[in-house]
């Protein structure tokens, strides 16, 4: 196996191609060693520094303090995805599992909220509660939510967010158009998941809520 030499650096394009994707430091070390580049933790950090300096690396810190590196040529082009928007505005960070990027005009908080809501994961729902602190285009949010039939879900999350953070005020129009009718049945926000908390909110919107109060501890420190 060839020994890694700090002085004789690996071609940056070769390195980028080899490590493209989402990795932890351990997986980076494994990939380099598999490609006959003898690497330890110190050398892997150095290589990440080289790639980051060129603009190819974005780093996400997970709840367990582990770092995940998104390595892509597209990062240098200043592209972004919805996770970037959420992570910029929430104390609960989402790992980037999708390697696509959006270019051109930056998407809105409202679009990011609907995108994450469609993912139907508890962590995504918790993360987007923070977006209500800044959302002010309720007309756009209603349009997007109605297209996906998610008005009640948005209203539910908004009322939950209000219990723990200061939010922008929901318009009466959004609320009145989104509240369930007497004939509407209860819905699951995430299939077969419901908590013992937020029963008043659950009754108002006729939606089973998969979030527990204990899940929101990160907001108390925010």
Phi then psi for residue 157, to 5 deg, are: -65, -40
Altogether, the residues listed in the chain come to a count of: 222
- Asked if residue 71 and residue 121 are part of one domain, the reply reads no
| Residue 196 lies inside a defined structural domain of this protein | yes
| Residue 164: closest CA among 98, 218, 208, 121 | 218
Q: Is the Cα dihedral 104, 135, 140, 81 positive or negative?
A: positive
The pLDDT assigned to 195 comes to 92
Cβ neighbours of residue 195 closer than 8 Å, sequence gap 6 or more = 209, 210, 211, 212
Task: Check if the beta carbon of residue 182 is closer than 8 Å to that of residue 89.
Answer: no
Low-confidence stretches of the chain (pLDDT < 50) are 1-8
The pLDDT assigned to 111 comes to 94
CA dihedral 87, 93, 95, 101 (to 10 degrees): -10
| Residue 40 lies inside a defined structural domain of this protein | yes
Which of 77, 98, 132 terminates a domain? The answer is: 77
| Residue 17 lies inside a defined structural domain of this protein | yes
The pLDDT assigned to 6 comes to 44
| Residue 170 lies inside a defined structural domain of this protein | yes
Alpha helices by DSSP H, 24-71: 25-34, 41-53
- Asked if residue 113 and residue 58 are part of one domain, the reply reads no
The pLDDT assigned to 2 comes to 43
Domains of the chain: total: 2
- Asked if residue 143 and residue 73 are part of one domain, the reply reads no
DSSP 15-27: HHHHH-EEE-HHH
| Residue 127 lies inside a defined structural domain of this protein | yes
The pLDDT assigned to 110 comes to 96
| Residue 163 lies inside a defined structural domain of this protein | yes
- Retrieve residue 157's tokens: 């999350």
Task: Check if the beta carbon of residue 198 is closer than 8 Å to that of residue 179.
Answer: no
The pLDDT assigned to 105 comes to 64
- Asked if residue 157 and residue 205 are part of one domain, the reply reads yes
Residue with tokens 């997970």: 62
Element (H, E) at 116: helix 109-117
- Asked if residue 121 and residue 211 are part of one domain, the reply reads yes
**CA 159/CA 214 separation, integer angstroms:** 16
- Asked if residue 134 and residue 45 are part of one domain, the reply reads no
The pLDDT assigned to 96 comes to 67
- Asked if residue 191 and residue 135 are part of one domain, the reply reads yes
| Residue 85 lies inside a defined structural domain of this protein | no
| Residue 86: closest CA among 124, 36, 55 | 124
- Asked if residue 116 and residue 72 are part of one domain, the reply reads no
- Asked if residue 113 and residue 72 are part of one domain, the reply reads no
Residue with tokens 């209860």: 186
Domain residues for 57? Answer: 2-77
**CA 181/CA 29 separation, integer angstroms:** 56
The pLDDT assigned to 132 comes to 97
| Residue 180 lies inside a defined structural domain of this protein | yes
Q: Residue 35 is part of a domain; what is its CATH number?
A: 1.10.10.10
The pLDDT assigned to 1 comes to 41
- Asked if residue 19 and residue 119 are part of one domain, the reply reads no
Q: What pLDDT, in 10s, does the model give residues 88-108?
A: 899 998 876 655 556 556 679
């Amino acid at each position: 196996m060839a020994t890694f030499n700090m002085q004789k650096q690996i071609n940056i394009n070769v390195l980028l191609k080899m490590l493209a994707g989402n990795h932890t430091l351990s997986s980076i070390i494994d990939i380099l060693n598999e490609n006959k580049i003898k690497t330890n933790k110190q050398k892997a950090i150095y290589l990440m520094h080289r790639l980051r300096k060129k603009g190819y690396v974005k780093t996400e810190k997970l709840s367990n303090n582990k770092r995940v590196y998104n390595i892509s040529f597209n990062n240098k082009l200043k592209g972004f995805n919805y996770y970037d928007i959420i992570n910029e505005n929430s104390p609960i960070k989402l790992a980037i599992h999708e390697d696509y990027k959006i270019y051109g005009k930056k998407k809105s908080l409202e679009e990011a909220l609907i995108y994450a809501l469609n993912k139907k994961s508890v962590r995504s729902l918790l993360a987007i509660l923070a977006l209500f602190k800044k959302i002010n285009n309720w007309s756009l949010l209603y349009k997007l939510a109605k297209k996906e039939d998610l008005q009640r879900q948005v209203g539910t999350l908004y009322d939950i967010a209000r219990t723990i953070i200061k939010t922008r005020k929901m318009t009466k129009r959004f609320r009145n158009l989104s509240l369930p009718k007497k004939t509407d049945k209860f819905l699951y926000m995430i299939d077969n998941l419901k908590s013992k908390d937020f029963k008043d909110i659950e009754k108002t919107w006729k939606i089973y809520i998969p979030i527990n109060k204990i899940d929101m501890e990160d907001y108390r420190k925010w």
